[in-house]
């Protein structure tokens, strides 16, 4: 899932944005001194000014949210630009904290806490973790919005893409100036694959996508695309040149990792306790897998059972088969009254572009300002440089793919964004957090099995549990690699042995954990949502397994947009915001 999960964003406080309107006192004197007049905060104006400023500082984010007046622009990633972002975010936070929540409505007071949490998350990655100087993955240069999202005619989008491509060489030079070797090996690997993939994309997919653009604009387009391709190639080469000093030193350390959890997700649970929670959920899912395998492949080992599921490959190719699954899943969600399904919008399945295949699948949903556009569910083919056996193993079995489709589309990310784009809060529509989005999508997998998806079929259950185990090991790898001294090789082994992943996925997932330490949010978010659901239903006088309560919970939860889950817990249960598992 892509939208809303940026590590960047912010801008200087706009003059006049923060409006505090004094209520005039009565001119008549009274023998009894009147109380000081209350001040009314123009909270909507404050929020809108923050959003406008944020978009100006982060035009790439604005474009993905559907604000196409920013088309063609990239952020200022110069050292001066980065420092301005940091200073302005701190200024925004000071001003937001100065607003007395008692002078706001209940919804506005919640949104104030939400806004401060978003600022804290941005500041963590920009300043505290210092990602711009350490991690090539910080830099988002994805042009897919111009290529694959039909928000305007092809000629308009080609012109916007041309401006984007012209901005790429300057951005690449800023990135080279910012990154401070030595860099971890996995960061270099990911950066080289990403930027070489972008260079190839400029030479192939982009030209095909804009073949019907205005002929008069083609020379400028061709020149800009070629220049961007050369810039991406030079950045990949620059990263390759850093291999002579590469390290394995990617770990954040326990203090910084704990700070990440609180600043980005408002989770302050001690790391040892979190690890114990993760190991308990891993065991729960491994025990369930053993039971499912005893029915699906009786007498066989767990490894052989998983191999049997993986051997049942989708007919006609993964993308085509996923398209059929989406039709069936949507109908299941409707028939089982899982959650409200807004009418008139669908997601389409396509093959991932070559620069973004570090994960097997993801969805790219349109932003709240892009109306009536399709979301795209991207599925990655195996790396062509792998052996034939490794490539075949990477292709998921039908049941495994089914729960990937659940996660990405029905009722996972796609339904989640249909709801967030209709939130009463524009802030909730735009700023969707990592644990909220990935937690919901992962929660949806187990919830759909519990709702009866597959009618108890053990092969289907194996598919659901393989997805759960993958996220369990992400959770434990993130904590292990960044706080416990676990190596990347040890993480890879855990994906192979505890999550029963194929070698290609295990290699990708262990590497991802080094440069995306927050990928524990899948399991962490799932567990917080499930606990909140059970507690919310109990407060309504219903048991945790009473599915008549679930739809109301799902609709209520998704209506918040995407704040840190502890804030939602506080609001839904009318208690102090806290993390609970």
Q: What's the first-to-final CA gap in the chain, in angstroms?
A: 23
Output the pLDDT for position 372: 86
3-state secondary structure of 292: helix
Output the pLDDT for position 344: 79
Which H or E element spans position 572? helix 565-573
As beta bridge partners, residue 20 has: 41
Could you give the CA distance from residue 169 to residue 131 in angstroms, rounded to a whole number? 21
Could you give the CA distance from residue 348 to residue 233 in angstroms, rounded to a whole number? 31
Residue 359's Cβ-side half-sphere holds a number of Cα atoms within 13 Å equal to 16
Could you give the CA distance from residue 461 to residue 456 in angstroms, rounded to a whole number? 7
Output the pLDDT for position 2: 47
Strands 375-379 and 361-364: antiparallel
Output the pLDDT for position 31: 37
Q: Using 50 as the pLDDT threshold, list the residues of the chain that sit under it.
A: 2-38
The closest of 54, 41, 39 to 91, measured between CA atoms, is 54
Could you give the CA distance from residue 467 to residue 445 in angstroms, rounded to a whole number? 8
Predicted TM-score of the model (pTM): 0.91
């Amino acid at each position: 899932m892509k939208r809303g999960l940026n590590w960047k964003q912010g801008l200087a406080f706009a003059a006049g944005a923060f409006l505090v309107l004094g209520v005039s006192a009565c001119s008549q004197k009274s023998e009894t001194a009147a109380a000081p007049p209350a001040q009314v905060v123009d909270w909507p104006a404050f929020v809108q000014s923050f959003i406008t400023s944020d978009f100006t500082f982060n035009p790439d984010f604005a474009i993905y949210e559907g604000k196409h007046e920013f088309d063609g622009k990239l952020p200022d990633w110069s050292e001066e630009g980065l420092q301005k972002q940091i200073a302005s975010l701190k200024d925004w936070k000071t001003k937001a904290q100065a607003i007395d929540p008692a002078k706001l409505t209940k919804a506005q007071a919640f949104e104030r806490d939400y806004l401060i949490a978003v600022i804290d998350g941005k500041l963590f990655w920009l300043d505290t973790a210092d990602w711009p100087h350490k991690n090539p993955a910080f830099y988002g240069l994805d042009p897919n919005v111009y290529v694959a999202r039909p928000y305007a005619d092809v000629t308009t989008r080609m012109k916007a893409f041309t401006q984007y491509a012209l901005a790429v060489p300057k951005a690449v030079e800023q990135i080279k100036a910012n990154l401070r070797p030595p860099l971890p090996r996995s960061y270099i690997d990911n950066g080289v694959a990403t930027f070489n993939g972008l260079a190839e994309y400029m030479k192939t997919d982009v030209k095909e996508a804009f073949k019907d653009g205005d002929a008069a604009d083609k020379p400028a387009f061709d020149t800009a695309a070629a220049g961007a391709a050369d810039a991406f190639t030079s950045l990949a080469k620059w990263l390759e040149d850093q291999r002579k000093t590469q390290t394995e030193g990617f770990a954040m350390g326990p203090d910084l990792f704990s700070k990440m959890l609180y600043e980005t997700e408002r989770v302050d649970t001690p790391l040892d306790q979190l690890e114990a929670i993760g190991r308990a959920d891993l065991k729960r899912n491994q025990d369930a897998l053993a039971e499912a395998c005893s029915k699906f492949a009786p007498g066989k080992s767990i490894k052989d059972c998983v191999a049997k599921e993986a051997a049942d490959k989708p007919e006609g190719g993964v993308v085509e088969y996923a398209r059929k699954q989406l039709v069936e899943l949507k109908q299941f969600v409707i028939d089982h009254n899982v959650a409200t399904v807004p009418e008139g919008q669908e997601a389409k399945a396509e093959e991932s572009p070559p620069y973004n295949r570090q994960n097997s699948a993801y969805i790219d949903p349109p932003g709240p300002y892009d109306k009536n556009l399709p979301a795209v569910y991207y599925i990655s083919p195996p790396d062509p440089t792998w052996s034939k056996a490794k490539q075949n193993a990477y292709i998921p079995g039908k049941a495994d793919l089914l729960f990937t489709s659940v996660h990405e589309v029905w009722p996972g990310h796609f339904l989640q964004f249909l709801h967030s784009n209709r939130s009463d809060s524009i802030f909730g529509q735009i700023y969707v957090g990592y644990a909220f989005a990935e937690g919901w999508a992962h929660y949806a997998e187990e919830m759909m099995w519990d709702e009866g998806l597959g009618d108890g079929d053990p092969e289907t259950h194996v598919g659901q549990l393989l997805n759960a185990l993958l996220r369990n090991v992400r959770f434990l790898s993130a904590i292990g690699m960044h706080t416990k001294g676990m190596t990347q090789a040890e993480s890879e082994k855990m994906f192979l042995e505890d999550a029963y992943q194929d070698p290609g996925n295990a290699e990708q997932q262990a590497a991802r954990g080094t440069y995306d330490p927050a990928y524990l949010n899948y399991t962490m978010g799932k567990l917080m949502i499930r606990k909140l659901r059970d507690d919310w239903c109990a407060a309504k006088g219903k048991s945790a397994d009473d599915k008549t309560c679930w739809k109301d919970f799902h609709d209520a939860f998704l209506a918040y947009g995407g704040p840190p889950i502890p804030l939602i817990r506080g609001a839904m249960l009318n208690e102090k915001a806290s993390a609970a598992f």
